[in-house]
Every structure is written in C-alpha cells, then in structure tokens.
C-alpha cells in the first residue's frame, strides 16, 4: 500500500514535470524556428535575399503591395472554402467535441485571415505611404498573427487526437485482466516510470520493504533523467502529449509578440505571411507524427490526403521569391497562383480533419457501447483500492455507461 501511494505521488510529479518540460522544449525550439525562418527566406539564394527585405513596419518607395482583383478575389474565395468546411464539420459531426471545436477554430482562423487580408488588399490605394498608417499596421498585424496562431492550433489538435486515441485503448475485457494483480501492476508502473529505482527490485513486496522516504528520494533523483527520456518517448506513450495545451498557447502568444514588434515585417508585406507560415513547421510535424498513432482508425485515403495537405504549402516560401524576381508576372497573377495552391491545401486539411473527427467520434461511441453492454473495466487494478481522485487524471480514465 505504501509503495503504491508513493508511485501515485511519483506519477503526479512526473506529469507536472513533463508539462513544464513541454514549455522548456518550446522555449528551446523558438529560437531554432526563428533561425529556420531566416535561413528559408534569406539564406538560400539571391532571390530570397532580394525579396525578403526587413522593414520593421517602416515602409518606403521600395515597398510593394498589390491591390488588383486577382489578389483580393482569390482571398475571398479561400475564405468561402474554409467556411464551407466549417459548416460541413458542424453538420456531419453532430455531437460537439473538443477535437471538432479545435478543427473548426483552425478553419475559422484561416477564413478570418484571408477575408481581412483580401479587404486590406482591396482598400490599398497603391502608394507606400498608405502602408505606414495605423489602419494598415493594425489590420496586417492581425492577419499575420492569425497565420502564426494556426500553428498553435495544430498543436492543440494533435494533443486532442493523442488523448482520444488513448481513450479508445483504455478499456479492456475483464477476462484479460483477471491475472494482473495489484502488486504486479505496481511494480510494472514503477519500472516503466523510474527504471533506475527498480533496477534491483523484482516485486512490489521488495519495493514496500524500502525504508520510508527512500523510494521518494530515489524517484526525485531520477526525475531529470526520466524527464529527458519522456520527451523522446512521449509519442509512444499513448496518454501523455509531448507538449501541453498551455505550452502551445504560449507558443502562439510568443509569436504574436514578435509580430507586433515588427520582427516579421518586410518591405513586401506578403512576405510577412510566408514567414508566419514557416513558423508552423514544428507544430505541423508534431501533428503529422501524432496522426501516425491513429492511422488504423482513419480511412487510408483520407489519412494520406491530410498528411499531403499539411505539407502542401511548403514549396510556396521558395516559389514566391523566384516568381517575383524571375517570372515577369504581375503581383496579381503571382498571388492568384499561390492562392490556388493555398485553397487546395486548406480544403484538403478541412476534409482530412473532418474524417479524423468522424473516426475518433465513432471510436468513442464504440468504447462507450462496449463498456455498457459487456463486462469491461479499466486496465488499472489499483483503482479498486484507491479513490480515483488520488490518481493522475491521465492515468485513470473512468468510463461509465451512458
């Protein structure tokens, strides 16, 4: 009993350290992301160096901002496509869920940024002095901030998919659990969380014979080592996201602060969008890795389509400076071409996320049905002896019949 309580306390500490560890990961990755943005925009050739010229919200006669109908009309088209996907999510996934809400938030952010961006393009008078007005700075700051914020929403979606995938695996037939005793479970958890503590112990009874406080002291000494290991193994741990929701929100706030101060501002304001889009790289890859966990729950065509659409915008950051410097096309036609690629990518994301929401919802319903109709219970025998309030919420997921 004493050993089990010590392990429960250790798991709570482990969870808290992992959450703070997620923040630390993003704090380290933020300068890496900024360096990557610089490399992608100015470090890979003369075209990028000539196109991505920093302005810091102070524009001169070298500034270029298109106001032709090809630019703002295609912006409005993208917004209409995104709102159509939002409506499809609302109609096809009738029961509201956190995952569905976050997917809708992503598409709404897309729609607002493109509508506002189209309005700014349409209302621009063609003179660089108009770019130095308070109206332009406030509206374009919002457009770029929403683009960067989409990366945070990717991270939030990934966390929810990971948790729902874990929830669909938390119930197991009671017949397969009968042979698992509390002591075996205790030792197994101790060995998984803190292997160095249990290196020389072979059973829970051995753990219980440790001197009072020795287990907690050993666990405390092992937290830094296992915290590092948990980062590397987080995506294989079904119930523990690598980065917490709060950390992803903090990531978005940090990017918005950089945008407001002019860190992403260029003489061609369209370049601000590409830099903000490049900041989505880390959360996009994170979401793609999480989707690997549920590839057997989503139709294969939809899964591959979503993976491809998440990467559909990547070539644009290289394509834009080449088109501007070498193609001879007007900015209107260049923007229309890039917006066509953007529309295909975002519509593919909307369709793929819709399938993920439906699949996860069906899995949740099947889990609830199986729990209500047969003798199912949690794969956690210690719950029979302890009140669930003493256990970490990620470790005990109570499933009750509806």
Residue that is written with structure tokens 């969380």 in the block: 193
Q: d(Cα 338, Cα 267) in Å, to the nearest integer?
A: 19
Closest CA to 259 of 351, 364, 143: 143
The percent helix, strand, coil of the chain (3-state, each to 5) is 75, 0, 25
Closest CA to 336 of 67, 68, 79, 70: 70
pLDDT in tens, the chain (402 residues): 555 554 445 444 445 445 455 566 667 777 888 888 888 777 678 888 889 999 999 999 999 999 999 999 999 999 999 999 999 988 887 777 899 999 999 999 999 999 999 999 999 998 999 999 999 999 999 999 999 999 999 999 999 998 888 776 544 444 444 444 444 444 444 444 444 444 444 444 444 444 444 444 444 444 444 444 444 444 444 456 778 888 899 999 999 999 999 999 999 999 999 999 999 999 999 999 999 988 888 899 999 999 999 999 888 888 899 999 998 899 999 999 999 999 999 999 999 999 998 888 777 666 555 554 444 444 443 333 434 444 444 444 444 444
CATH of 2-167+227-355, picked from 1.20.1070, 1.10.3290, 1.10.287, 1.10.8, is: 1.20.1070
Q: What is the dihedral of CA 126, 129, 135, 141, to 10 degrees?
A: 90
pLDDT of residue 30: 78
Beta bridge partners of 173: 376
**For residues 234-261, b (16+ Cβ closer than 10 Å) or e, as one string?**
bbeeebbbbbbbebbebbbebbbebbbe
Beta bridge partners of 378: 171
Domain assignments of the chain as residue spans, ordered by start? 2-167+227-355
The structure's pTM equals: 0.72
Q: What angle do CA 380, 381, 387 make, to 5 degrees?
A: 90
Residue that is written with structure tokens 């698992």 in the block: 180
Residues ≥6 apart with Cβ < 8 Å to 179: none
pLDDT of residue 63: 92
Q: d(Cα 355, Cα 325) in Å, to the nearest integer?
A: 40
Residues ≥6 apart with Cβ < 8 Å to 148: 252, 255, 256, 259, 276, 279, 280
- How far apart, in Å, are the Cα atoms of 118 and each of 76, 132, 261, 270, 382? 6, 18, 23, 12, 58
**Residue 104, both tokens:** 């809708």
Q: Euclidean distance between the first and final Cα of the chain, in Å?
A: 33
């Amino acid at each position: 009993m004493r050993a089990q309580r010590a392990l429960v306390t250790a798991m709570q500490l482990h969870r808290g350290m992992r959450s703070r560890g997620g923040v630390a990961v993003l704090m380290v990755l933020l300068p890496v992301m900024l360096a990557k943005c610089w490399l992608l925009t100015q470090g890979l050739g003369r075209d990028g160096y000539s196109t991505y010229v920093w302005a810091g919200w102070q524009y001169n006669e070298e500034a270029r901002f298109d106001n032709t109908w090809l630019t703002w009309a295609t912006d409005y088209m993208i917004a209409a496509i995104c709102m159509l996907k939002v409506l499809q999510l609302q109609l096809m996934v009738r029961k509201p869920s956190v995952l569905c809400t976050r997917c809708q938030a992503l598409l709404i952010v897309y729609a607002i940024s493109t509508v506002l961006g189209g309005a700014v393009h349409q209302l621009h008078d063609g003179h660089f002095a108009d770019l130095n007005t308070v109206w332009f700075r406030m509206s374009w700051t919002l457009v770029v901030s929403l683009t960067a914020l989409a990366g945070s929403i990717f991270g939030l979606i990934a966390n929810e998919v990971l948790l729902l995938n874990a929830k669909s695996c938390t119930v197991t037939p009671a017949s397969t659990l009968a042979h698992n005793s509390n002591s075996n479970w205790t030792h197994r958890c101790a060995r998984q969380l803190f292997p160095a503590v249990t290196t020389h112990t072979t059973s829970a009874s051995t753990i219980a014979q440790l001197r009072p406080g020795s287990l907690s002291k050993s666990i405390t000494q092992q937290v830094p080592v296992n915290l590092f290991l948990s980062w590397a193994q987080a995506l294989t741990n079904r119930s523990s996201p690598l980065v917490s929701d709060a950390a992803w929100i903090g990531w978005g706030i940090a990017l918005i602060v950089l945008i407001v101060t002019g860190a992403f501002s260029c003489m061609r304001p369209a370049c601000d969008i590409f830099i903000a889009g490049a900041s989505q790289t880390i959360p996009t890859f994170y979401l793609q890795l999480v989707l690997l966990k549920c590839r057997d729950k989503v139709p294969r065509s939809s899964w591959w389509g979503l993976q491809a659409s998440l990467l559909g915008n990547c070539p644009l950051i290289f394509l834009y400076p080449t088109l501007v410097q070498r193609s001879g096309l007007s900015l209107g036609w260049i923007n229309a071409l890039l917006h066509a690629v953007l529309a295909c990518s975002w519509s593919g994301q909307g369709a793929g996320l819709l399938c993920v929401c439906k699949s996860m919802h069906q899995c949740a319903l099947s889990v609830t049905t199986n729990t209500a109709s047969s003798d199912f219970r949690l794969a956690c025998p210690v719950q029979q002896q302890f009140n669930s309030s003493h256990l970490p919420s990620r470790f005990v997921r109570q499933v009750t019949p509806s």
